[in-house]
Protein backbone atom coordinates (compact mmCIF):
# COMPACT_ATOMS: atom_id res chain seq x y z
CA UNK A 1 0.00 0.00 0.00
CA UNK A 2 2.72 2.33 1.05
CA UNK A 3 4.76 1.69 -2.07
CA UNK A 4 1.76 2.11 -4.27
CA UNK A 5 0.83 5.40 -2.71
CA UNK A 6 4.32 6.71 -3.35
CA UNK A 7 4.30 5.42 -6.90
CA UNK A 8 1.02 7.20 -7.33
CA UNK A 9 2.33 10.56 -6.17
CA UNK A 10 5.57 10.22 -8.07
CA UNK A 11 3.86 9.38 -11.34
CA UNK A 12 1.66 12.39 -10.94
CA UNK A 13 4.52 14.75 -10.34
CA UNK A 14 6.36 13.35 -13.33
CA UNK A 15 3.28 13.79 -15.48
CA UNK A 16 3.02 17.32 -14.19
CA UNK A 17 6.62 18.17 -14.99
CA UNK A 18 6.43 16.82 -18.53
CA UNK A 19 3.23 18.74 -19.06
CA UNK A 20 5.02 21.92 -18.00
CA UNK A 21 7.97 21.31 -20.26
CA UNK A 22 5.90 20.60 -23.33
CA UNK A 23 4.02 23.85 -22.97
CA UNK A 24 4.70 25.81 -26.15
CA UNK A 25 8.45 25.94 -26.63
CA UNK A 26 9.19 29.58 -27.50
CA UNK A 27 10.34 30.11 -31.03
CA UNK A 28 13.10 32.55 -31.82
CA UNK A 29 12.29 36.20 -32.38
CA UNK A 30 14.23 37.96 -35.14
CA UNK A 31 14.20 41.72 -35.08
CA UNK A 32 15.64 44.10 -37.58
CA UNK A 33 15.42 47.85 -37.99
CA UNK A 34 15.56 49.36 -41.44
CA UNK A 35 15.99 53.00 -42.39
CA UNK A 36 13.83 53.09 -45.47
CA UNK A 37 10.58 54.42 -46.91
CA UNK A 38 11.38 57.75 -45.30
CA UNK A 39 10.95 56.27 -41.85
CA UNK A 40 12.27 53.67 -39.41
CA UNK A 41 10.86 50.23 -40.02
CA UNK A 42 10.95 47.60 -37.31
CA UNK A 43 10.42 44.01 -38.39
CA UNK A 44 9.87 41.22 -35.87
CA UNK A 45 9.58 37.65 -37.11
CA UNK A 46 8.79 34.64 -34.94
CA UNK A 47 10.45 31.64 -36.53
CA UNK A 48 12.59 28.63 -35.83
CA UNK A 49 14.47 29.14 -39.03
CA UNK A 50 16.86 32.08 -38.88
CA UNK A 51 17.84 31.71 -42.55
CA UNK A 52 14.21 31.99 -43.56
CA UNK A 53 13.72 35.07 -41.38
CA UNK A 54 16.84 36.78 -42.73
CA UNK A 55 15.88 36.05 -46.31
CA UNK A 56 12.42 37.50 -45.77
CA UNK A 57 13.85 40.64 -44.17
CA UNK A 58 16.23 41.13 -47.11
CA UNK A 59 13.42 40.86 -49.63
CA UNK A 60 11.26 43.27 -47.64
CA UNK A 61 14.11 45.72 -47.30
CA UNK A 62 14.78 45.97 -51.02
CA UNK A 63 11.06 46.05 -51.77
CA UNK A 64 10.52 48.99 -49.40
CA UNK A 65 13.45 50.85 -51.03
CA UNK A 66 11.98 50.20 -54.46
CA UNK A 67 8.45 51.26 -53.53
CA UNK A 68 9.72 54.38 -51.80
CA UNK A 69 11.19 55.65 -55.06
CA UNK A 70 8.29 54.36 -57.17
CA UNK A 71 5.61 56.02 -55.08
CA UNK A 72 7.39 59.16 -53.97
CA UNK A 73 5.58 62.23 -55.36
CA UNK A 74 8.76 64.10 -56.34
CA UNK A 75 11.52 61.55 -56.79
CA UNK A 76 12.30 60.17 -60.22
CA UNK A 77 10.09 57.08 -59.90
CA UNK A 78 6.80 56.10 -61.49
CA UNK A 79 4.64 58.49 -59.49
CA UNK A 80 7.16 61.34 -59.70
CA UNK A 81 7.21 61.03 -63.48
CA UNK A 82 3.43 60.97 -63.67
CA UNK A 83 3.25 64.06 -61.46
CA UNK A 84 5.73 65.82 -63.70
CA UNK A 85 3.53 65.03 -66.71
CA UNK A 86 0.46 66.34 -64.86
CA UNK A 87 2.39 69.47 -64.02
CA UNK A 88 3.61 70.07 -67.54
CA UNK A 89 0.39 69.11 -69.28
CA UNK A 90 -0.97 71.75 -71.62
CA UNK A 91 -4.51 70.59 -72.22
CA UNK A 92 -7.05 68.25 -70.70
CA UNK A 93 -6.91 66.01 -73.74
CA UNK A 94 -3.42 64.80 -72.83
CA UNK A 95 -3.24 61.15 -71.87
CA UNK A 96 -0.61 59.64 -69.63
CA UNK A 97 0.57 56.15 -68.87
CA UNK A 98 1.86 54.73 -65.65
CA UNK A 99 2.82 51.29 -64.36
CA UNK A 100 0.02 49.06 -63.01
CA UNK A 101 1.13 49.55 -59.39
CA UNK A 102 0.50 53.30 -59.63
CA UNK A 103 -2.77 52.81 -61.52
CA UNK A 104 -3.98 50.51 -58.75
CA UNK A 105 -2.93 53.07 -56.17
CA UNK A 106 -4.99 55.72 -57.95
CA UNK A 107 -8.05 53.52 -58.35
CA UNK A 108 -8.05 52.30 -54.75
CA UNK A 109 -7.61 55.77 -53.37
CA UNK A 110 -10.39 57.14 -55.58
CA UNK A 111 -12.85 54.86 -53.83
CA UNK A 112 -11.54 55.71 -50.35
CA UNK A 113 -11.48 59.41 -51.15
CA UNK A 114 -15.13 59.26 -52.17
CA UNK A 115 -16.09 57.32 -49.02
CA UNK A 116 -14.32 59.90 -46.88
CA UNK A 117 -16.22 62.81 -48.46
CA UNK A 118 -12.92 64.01 -49.90
CA UNK A 119 -11.23 64.40 -46.53
CA UNK A 120 -8.70 61.83 -47.64
CA UNK A 121 -7.52 63.48 -50.81
CA UNK A 122 -4.22 62.44 -52.40
CA UNK A 123 -4.88 64.87 -55.30
CA UNK A 124 -3.72 67.88 -53.28
CA UNK A 125 -0.04 67.19 -53.91
CA UNK A 126 0.49 70.82 -54.90
CA UNK A 127 -0.86 72.04 -51.56
CA UNK A 128 1.40 69.67 -49.66
CA UNK A 129 4.28 70.81 -51.81
CA UNK A 130 3.42 74.42 -50.97
CA UNK A 131 3.83 73.62 -47.29
CA UNK A 132 7.21 72.06 -48.10
CA UNK A 133 6.81 69.09 -45.78
CA UNK A 134 8.83 67.11 -48.28
CA UNK A 135 11.75 69.39 -47.39
CA UNK A 136 11.61 68.27 -43.78
CA UNK A 137 14.85 66.37 -44.06
CA UNK A 138 16.62 69.00 -46.10
CA UNK A 139 19.44 70.53 -44.10
CA UNK A 140 19.32 74.01 -45.58
CA UNK A 141 15.60 74.57 -45.69
CA UNK A 142 14.02 77.34 -43.66
CA UNK A 143 10.31 76.90 -42.99
CA UNK A 144 7.92 79.69 -43.89
CA UNK A 145 4.15 79.83 -44.09
CA UNK A 146 3.00 79.65 -47.70
CA UNK A 147 1.47 82.64 -49.42
CA UNK A 148 -2.28 82.57 -48.51
CA UNK A 149 -3.17 83.67 -52.02
CA UNK A 150 -1.45 80.66 -53.52
CA UNK A 151 -3.33 78.39 -51.14
CA UNK A 152 -6.57 80.08 -52.13
CA UNK A 153 -5.84 79.64 -55.82
CA UNK A 154 -5.23 75.93 -55.38
CA UNK A 155 -8.37 75.51 -53.26
CA UNK A 156 -10.43 77.18 -55.98
CA UNK A 157 -9.14 74.74 -58.56
CA UNK A 158 -10.38 72.05 -56.17
CA UNK A 159 -8.36 69.02 -57.28
CA UNK A 160 -10.21 65.78 -56.50
CA UNK A 161 -9.37 62.13 -57.09
CA UNK A 162 -12.56 61.92 -59.16
CA UNK A 163 -11.02 64.35 -61.67
CA UNK A 164 -8.76 61.55 -62.81
CA UNK A 165 -10.16 59.15 -65.37
CA UNK A 166 -8.55 55.85 -66.15
CA UNK A 167 -9.42 54.05 -69.32
CA UNK A 168 -7.48 51.05 -70.58
CA UNK A 169 -4.49 52.07 -68.50
CA UNK A 170 -4.59 55.53 -70.03
CA UNK A 171 -4.86 58.34 -67.52
CA UNK A 172 -6.61 61.60 -68.34
CA UNK A 173 -7.62 64.50 -66.16
CA UNK A 174 -9.69 67.59 -66.60
CA UNK A 175 -8.14 69.38 -63.64
CA UNK A 176 -4.82 71.07 -64.23
CA UNK A 177 -4.13 71.41 -60.50
CA UNK A 178 -3.82 67.68 -59.90
CA UNK A 179 -0.64 66.36 -58.38
CA UNK A 180 -0.71 63.08 -56.54
CA UNK A 181 0.81 62.67 -53.08
CA UNK A 182 0.13 59.32 -51.47
CA UNK A 183 1.77 60.26 -48.19
CA UNK A 184 -1.35 59.07 -46.36
CA UNK A 185 -1.81 55.88 -48.32
CA UNK A 186 1.41 54.47 -49.72
CA UNK A 187 2.66 53.22 -46.37
CA UNK A 188 -0.52 51.22 -45.82
CA UNK A 189 -0.39 49.67 -49.28
CA UNK A 190 3.32 48.92 -48.82
CA UNK A 191 2.72 47.17 -45.49
CA UNK A 192 0.03 44.99 -47.07
CA UNK A 193 2.55 44.10 -49.76
CA UNK A 194 5.24 43.24 -47.20
CA UNK A 195 2.81 41.01 -45.35
CA UNK A 196 2.05 39.05 -48.49
CA UNK A 197 5.79 38.70 -49.07
CA UNK A 198 6.14 37.27 -45.56
CA UNK A 199 3.32 34.81 -46.23
CA UNK A 200 5.01 33.77 -49.48
CA UNK A 201 8.13 33.09 -47.42
CA UNK A 202 6.05 30.81 -45.16
CA UNK A 203 6.24 33.13 -42.20
CA UNK A 204 3.04 32.99 -40.17
CA UNK A 205 3.94 35.11 -37.16
CA UNK A 206 5.37 38.59 -37.61
CA UNK A 207 4.98 42.27 -36.84
CA UNK A 208 5.96 45.16 -39.08
CA UNK A 209 6.10 48.56 -37.45
CA UNK A 210 6.65 51.36 -39.94
CA UNK A 211 7.20 54.49 -37.91
CA UNK A 212 4.40 53.71 -35.48
CA UNK A 213 1.97 52.26 -38.01
CA UNK A 214 1.87 48.52 -37.81
CA UNK A 215 0.39 45.26 -38.93
CA UNK A 216 0.70 41.80 -37.41
CA UNK A 217 0.54 38.23 -38.62
CA UNK A 218 -0.38 35.38 -36.31
CA UNK A 219 0.77 35.71 -32.73
CA UNK A 220 3.88 35.90 -30.59
CA UNK A 221 4.29 32.33 -29.38
CA UNK A 222 0.57 31.92 -28.97
CA UNK A 223 0.02 35.29 -27.30
CA UNK A 224 -1.66 38.19 -29.08
CA UNK A 225 0.71 41.01 -30.03
CA UNK A 226 0.54 43.64 -27.35
CA UNK A 227 0.75 47.23 -28.56
CA UNK A 228 1.15 50.42 -26.56
CA UNK A 229 -0.32 53.58 -28.08
CA UNK A 230 1.71 56.74 -27.66
CA UNK A 231 0.25 59.59 -25.65
CA UNK A 232 0.17 62.65 -27.94
CA UNK A 233 0.11 64.99 -24.93
CA UNK A 234 3.61 63.90 -24.00
CA UNK A 235 5.19 65.94 -26.80
CA UNK A 236 4.11 69.17 -25.13
CA UNK A 237 4.36 68.02 -21.54
CA UNK A 238 7.21 65.61 -20.75
CA UNK A 239 5.71 64.70 -17.37
CA UNK A 240 2.71 63.07 -19.08
CA UNK A 241 2.50 59.30 -19.39
CA UNK A 242 4.28 57.94 -22.45
CA UNK A 243 1.61 55.36 -23.25
CA UNK A 244 -2.05 56.31 -23.21
CA UNK A 245 -3.59 52.93 -24.04
CA UNK A 246 -2.77 49.30 -24.71
CA UNK A 247 -4.41 46.98 -27.19
CA UNK A 248 -3.90 43.42 -28.34
CA UNK A 249 -3.75 42.66 -32.04
CA UNK A 250 -4.76 39.33 -33.55
CA UNK A 251 -3.79 37.74 -36.83
CA UNK A 252 -3.95 40.14 -39.80
CA UNK A 253 -4.94 43.18 -37.78
CA UNK A 254 -3.37 46.54 -38.37
CA UNK A 255 -3.16 49.71 -36.29
CA UNK A 256 -2.57 53.10 -37.91
CA UNK A 257 -2.17 56.40 -36.14
CA UNK A 258 -2.13 59.92 -37.53
CA UNK A 259 -0.73 62.43 -35.10
CA UNK A 260 0.02 66.13 -35.17
CA UNK A 261 3.30 65.43 -33.40
CA UNK A 262 4.83 63.20 -36.06
CA UNK A 263 6.10 65.69 -38.62
CA UNK A 264 5.92 69.36 -37.94
CA UNK A 265 7.64 72.71 -38.03
CA UNK A 266 7.82 75.08 -35.12
CA UNK A 267 7.58 78.59 -36.53
CA UNK A 268 7.27 81.80 -34.52
CA UNK A 269 6.00 79.82 -31.56
CA UNK A 270 3.35 78.04 -33.56
CA UNK A 271 3.06 74.37 -34.41
CA UNK A 272 2.54 73.47 -38.07
CA UNK A 273 2.02 69.75 -38.62
CA UNK A 274 1.97 67.72 -41.80
CA UNK A 275 -1.70 66.73 -42.12
CA UNK A 276 -3.24 69.28 -44.47
CA UNK A 277 -7.00 69.79 -44.42
CA UNK A 278 -8.03 69.74 -48.11
CA UNK A 279 -10.97 72.03 -47.30
CA UNK A 280 -8.89 74.89 -45.86
CA UNK A 281 -5.43 74.29 -47.25
CA UNK A 282 -3.95 74.61 -43.74
CA UNK A 283 -2.92 71.95 -41.22
CA UNK A 284 -6.07 70.31 -39.83
CA UNK A 285 -7.23 71.59 -36.46
CA UNK A 286 -9.07 70.04 -33.54
CA UNK A 287 -7.31 66.68 -33.36
CA UNK A 288 -4.12 65.48 -31.71
CA UNK A 289 -4.20 61.92 -32.92
CA UNK A 290 -6.43 59.28 -34.49
CA UNK A 291 -5.83 55.57 -34.17
CA UNK A 292 -7.64 53.14 -36.44
CA UNK A 293 -7.73 49.35 -36.22
CA UNK A 294 -8.79 47.28 -39.23
CA UNK A 295 -7.57 44.30 -41.19
CA UNK A 296 -6.57 46.32 -44.25
CA UNK A 297 -3.54 48.55 -43.78
CA UNK A 298 -4.31 50.65 -46.86
CA UNK A 299 -7.78 51.44 -45.54
CA UNK A 300 -6.39 52.09 -42.06
CA UNK A 301 -3.83 54.54 -43.45
CA UNK A 302 -6.38 56.50 -45.47
CA UNK A 303 -8.99 56.39 -42.70
CA UNK A 304 -6.66 57.62 -39.95
CA UNK A 305 -5.84 60.67 -42.09
CA UNK A 306 -9.44 61.30 -43.11
CA UNK A 307 -10.70 61.02 -39.51
CA UNK A 308 -7.90 63.28 -38.28
CA UNK A 309 -9.01 65.93 -40.76
CA UNK A 310 -12.68 65.31 -39.91
CA UNK A 311 -12.04 66.28 -36.30
CA UNK A 312 -13.99 65.57 -33.09
CA UNK A 313 -17.37 66.55 -34.55
CA UNK A 314 -17.41 64.76 -37.88
CA UNK A 315 -15.21 61.69 -37.40
CA UNK A 316 -17.85 59.18 -36.35
CA UNK A 317 -19.92 59.81 -39.46
CA UNK A 318 -16.93 59.45 -41.78
CA UNK A 319 -15.77 56.31 -39.94
CA UNK A 320 -19.14 54.72 -40.65
CA UNK A 321 -18.96 55.70 -44.31
CA UNK A 322 -15.47 54.25 -44.60
CA UNK A 323 -16.60 51.12 -42.79
CA UNK A 324 -14.08 51.40 -39.96
CA UNK A 325 -15.24 49.94 -36.64
CA UNK A 326 -12.35 50.54 -34.30
CA UNK A 327 -11.37 54.18 -33.83
CA UNK A 328 -9.84 56.27 -31.07
CA UNK A 329 -9.58 60.03 -31.51
CA UNK A 330 -7.83 62.34 -29.09
CA UNK A 331 -8.90 65.94 -29.56
CA UNK A 332 -6.96 69.15 -28.98
CA UNK A 333 -8.68 69.61 -25.62
CA UNK A 334 -7.45 66.15 -24.50
CA UNK A 335 -10.79 64.38 -24.81
CA UNK A 336 -10.71 60.75 -25.83
CA UNK A 337 -13.39 59.62 -28.26
CA UNK A 338 -13.97 55.92 -28.92
CA UNK A 339 -16.25 53.86 -31.11
CA UNK A 340 -18.20 51.28 -29.07
CA UNK A 341 -16.20 48.46 -30.65
CA UNK A 342 -12.92 50.15 -29.75
CA UNK A 343 -14.12 50.80 -26.20
CA UNK A 344 -14.53 47.07 -25.70
CA UNK A 345 -11.04 46.22 -26.85
CA UNK A 346 -8.78 49.02 -25.77
CA UNK A 347 -7.27 49.27 -22.32
CA UNK A 348 -6.96 52.95 -21.43
CA UNK A 349 -4.07 53.74 -19.10
CA UNK A 350 -5.26 57.20 -18.16
CA UNK A 351 -7.83 58.71 -15.82
CA UNK A 352 -9.53 60.56 -18.66
CA UNK A 353 -13.07 59.25 -19.10
CA UNK A 354 -13.57 58.38 -22.76
CA UNK A 355 -16.54 59.61 -24.77
CA UNK A 356 -18.12 56.70 -26.59
CA UNK A 357 -19.67 57.79 -29.88
CA UNK A 358 -22.20 55.52 -31.54
Partner 1 sequence: MKLHFTTTHEDHRVALLAALAITIHIIESAFPSPLPGIKPGLANVVTLFTFMMYGWKTALQVSLLRVIISSLLLGTFLSPTFLLSLSGALFSLSSLILTQQLFYLFHLTLRLFSRHGLSDNNYSQPGAIGYAIIASISHMSGQFLMAWYFFIPHPGLFKLLPILITFAVILGIVSGIITQLTISQLKRKQIQKSQLQPDNQ
Partner 2 sequence: MVLYKSRLEVEMAIFKPADVFILLSACFLTAWLYAVFWFDNAQQGEADSLLIQLADNEPVEYTLSKDKIITIQGHIGPSLIEIKQGKARFIHSSCRNQFCVFHGWLTVAGDTTACLPNRVSISLKGTLNDYDAIAGGQ
Binding site for partner 2 (CB under 8 A): 1-2, 5, 8-9, 12, 16, 33-35, 38-40, 42, 44, 136-141, 207, 209, 211-214, 220, 225-230, 232, 234-235, 238, 242-243, 246, 255, 257, 259, 261-263, 265, 289, 291
Report the distance separating Cα 175 and Cα 173, nearest Å: 6
Least distance in Å: CB of 39 to partner 2? 7
Question: Which window, 33-41, 46-54, 130-138, 342-350, contacts partner 1 (CB under 8 A)?
Answer: 342-350
Give just the sign of the alpha carbon dihedral 48, 209, 254, 297. Answer: negative
Of residues 84 and 345, the one with the C-beta less far from partner 2:
345
Least distance in Å: CB of 37 to partner 2? 10
Strands 213-217 and 254-259, by their bridges, are antiparallel
8 forms part of the interface with partner 1 (CB under 8 A): yes
Please, are residues 179 and 125 in contact by the beta-carbon 8 Å criterion?
A: yes
Of residues 11 and 152, the one with the C-beta less far from partner 1:
11
Report H helices in 47-173.
50-71, 78-88, 100-115, 125-131, 148-157
Nearest to 357 by CA among 329, 331, 332: 329
Number of residues that bind partner 1 (CB under 8 A): 12
Q: Using alpha carbons only, give the angle 125, 72, 188 rounded to the nearest 5 degrees.
A: 90
- Residue 138 binds which entry of partner 1, partner 2, none, CB below 5-8 Å type-dependent: partner 2
- Residue 7 binds which entry of partner 2, partner 1, none, CB below 5-8 Å type-dependent: partner 1
How are strands ordered across the β-sheet holding 96-97?
96-97, 170-173, 164-167
Please, are residues 330 and 244 in contact by the beta-carbon 8 Å criterion?
A: yes
27 forms part of the interface with partner 1 (CB under 8 A): no
Least distance in Å: CB of 96 to partner 1? 50
Please, are residues 327 and 319 in contact by the beta-carbon 8 Å criterion?
A: yes
Q: List phi, psi (to 5°) of 55.
A: -60, -45
Least distance in Å: CB of 344 to partner 1? 6
Number of H helices, E strands in the chain: 9, 17
Q: List phi, psi (to 5°) of 181.
A: -130, 110
Question: Which window, 8-16, 57-65, 71-79, 143-151, contacts partner 1 (CB under 8 A)?
Answer: 8-16
Report the distance separating Cα 129 and Cα 264, nearest Å: 14
Spell out the residues 6+ positions from residue 148 whose beta carbon is closer than 8 angstroms to its own: none
1 forms part of the interface with partner 1 (CB under 8 A): yes
Least distance in Å: CB of 156 to partner 1? 49
Of residues 160 and 304, the one with the C-beta less far from partner 2:
304
Of residues 154 and 275, the one with the C-beta less far from partner 2:
275
Identify residues 240-299 at the interface with partner 1 (CB under 8 A): 246, 248
- Residue 235 binds which entry of partner 1, partner 2, none, CB below 5-8 Å type-dependent: partner 2
- Residue 344 binds which entry of partner 2, partner 1, none, CB below 5-8 Å type-dependent: partner 1
- Residue 345 binds which entry of partner 2, partner 1, none, CB below 5-8 Å type-dependent: partner 1
Q: Per DSSP, which regions of the chain are E strands?
A: 29-36, 39-46, 96-97, 164-167, 170-173, 206-210, 213-217, 225-230, 243-249, 254-259, 264-267, 270-273, 287-294, 326-331, 336-338, 347-348, 355-356
Least distance in Å: CB of 42 to partner 2? 7
- Residue 76 binds which entry of partner 2, partner 1, none, CB below 5-8 Å type-dependent: none
- Residue 225 binds which entry of partner 2, partner 1, none, CB below 5-8 Å type-dependent: partner 2
Of residues 102 and 229, the one with the C-beta less far from partner 2:
229
Nearest to 300 by CA among 342, 331, 254: 254
The residues that touch partner 1, with contacts defined as CB under 8 A, are 1, 3-4, 7-8, 11-12, 246, 248, 344-345, 347
Amino acid sequence: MNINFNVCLLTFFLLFLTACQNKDPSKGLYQQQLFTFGTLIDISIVSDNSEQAKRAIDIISSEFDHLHTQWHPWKNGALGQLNKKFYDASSSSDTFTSPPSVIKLIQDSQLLSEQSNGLFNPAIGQLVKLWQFDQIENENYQFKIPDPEKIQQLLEKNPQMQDILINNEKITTNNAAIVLDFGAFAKGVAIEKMMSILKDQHIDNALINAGGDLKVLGSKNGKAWKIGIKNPAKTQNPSEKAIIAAIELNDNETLFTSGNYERFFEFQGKHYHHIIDPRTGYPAVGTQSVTVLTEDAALADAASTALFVAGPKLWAEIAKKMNVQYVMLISDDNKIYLTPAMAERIELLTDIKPVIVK
